[in-house]
């Protein structure tokens, strides 16, 4: 075993794992860190990797020979070949100097691997006084009922054909939020249902795909969705209707929870906070 849990656990201020993203706090074990090292050798998806649902090959892998593991801090570098290449160094440690050390390592590894981008990902705990970056939030679907919200929300395929035909331009307009990618997966028939809200006969918002898969501990997890509402359609409560419809769907399918990442103080962040999600921590990414 490479990682010492007595070294790593005290500096895991947020439940974020390199190449996997957020995990349920109960699944945050030394075994999951060992798993990502093994996956770096095989190149395979881990059984509980959220990206496994998209098929293909795992793009991001840990640079296992360059991991720094000490009693007070751990640096885990990863390499993504997508685009022009990105090196990320996940900096786990409580002292401020860990970011500088991580930045130095990221720059060195980016040069060695011909990657254009070098970044440092710094987790922080839920008690952060001035949070920035991305908030990790947990929706516990076992805590209370999630009733169907009603309103103009249904599965894309349940809308009349004329409304369905407006999903493509909606997805193109919201490409920055991943909806264009999601649309390609929908066309290929390789994802679960997508819920859409329509206004005046046109799709104005969507959330999905709706899929439940087991996490590292075997708990059923509602997978993180793509979620967007057209800017001109905001302020009408469509985002809240979509969110509640998704939670109703997940609960009805036996999901125990969902993890989401939201930009601090962004529209989705404000929505999730008013919906009572629990903040598990934050991550802040800096470019080197």
Residue 130's pLDDT is 84
Please tell me the distance from the alpha carbon of residue 273 to that of residue 288, in angstroms, as a whole number. Answer: 31
Domain count, the chain: 2
Q: Which residues pair with residue 282 across a beta bridge?
A: 124, 135
Residues 127, 163: one domain? no
Domain span at residue 55 reads 5-131
Residue 228: CATH number of its domain = 3.40.630.30
| Last-in-domain residue among 69, 102, 131 | 131
- Has residue 188 been placed in a domain? yes
Per-residue pLDDT for the chain (288 aa), expressed as one digit of tens each?
799 999 999 999 999 999 999 999 999 999 999 999 999 999 899 999 999 988 888 999 999 999 999 999 999 999 998 888 999 999 999 988 999 999 999 999 999 999 999 999 999 999 888 888 999 999 999 999 999 999 999 999 999 999 999 999 999 999 999 999 999 999 998 899 999 999 999 999 999 999 999 999 999 999 999 999 999 999 999 999 999 999 999 999 999 999 999 999 998 899 999 999 999 999 999 999
Residues 58, 87: one domain? yes
Residues 45, 84: one domain? yes
Residues 103, 159: one domain? no
- Has residue 264 been placed in a domain? no
- 14-to-20, 84, 112, 266 alpha-carbon distances in Å: 13, 29, 29, 20
pTM of the model as a whole = 0.92
């Amino acid at each position: 075993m490479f990682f010492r849990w007595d070294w790593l656990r005290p500096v895991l201020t947020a439940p974020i794992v390199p190449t996997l993203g957020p995990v349920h706090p109960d699944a945050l074990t030394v075994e999951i860190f060992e798993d990502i090292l093994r996956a770096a050798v095989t190149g395979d998806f881990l059984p509980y990797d959220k990206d496994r649902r998209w098929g293909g090959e795992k793009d991001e892998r840990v640079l296992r020979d360059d991991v720094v593991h000490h009693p007070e801090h751990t640096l885990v570098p990863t390499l993504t070949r997508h685009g022009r290449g990105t090196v990320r160094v996940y900096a786990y440690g409580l002292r401020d100097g860990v970011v500088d050390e991580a930045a130095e390592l990221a720059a060195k590894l980016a040069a060695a691997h011909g990657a254009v981008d070098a970044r440092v990902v710094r987790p922080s705990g839920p008690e952060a006084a001035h949070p920035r970056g991305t908030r990790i939030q947990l929706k516990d679907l076992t805590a209370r009922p999630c009733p169907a919200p009603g309103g103009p929300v249904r599965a894309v395929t349940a809308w009349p054909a004329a409304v369905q035909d407006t999903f493509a331009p909606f997805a193109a307009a919201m490409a920055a939020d991943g909806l264009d990618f999601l649309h390609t997966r929908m066309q290929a028939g390789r994802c679960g249902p997508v819920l859409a809200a329509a206004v005046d006969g046109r799709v104005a918002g969507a959330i999905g795909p709706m899929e439940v898969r087991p996490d590292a501990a075997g708990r059923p997890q509602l997978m993180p969705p793509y979620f967007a509402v057209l800017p001109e359609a905001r302020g009408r409560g469509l985002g809240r209707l979509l969110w509640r419809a998704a939670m109703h769907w997940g609960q009805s399918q036996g999901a125990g929870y969902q993890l989401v990442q939201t930009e601090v103080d962004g529209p989705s962040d404000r929505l999730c906070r008013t919906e009572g999600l629990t903040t598990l921590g934050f991550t802040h990414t800096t470019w080197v």
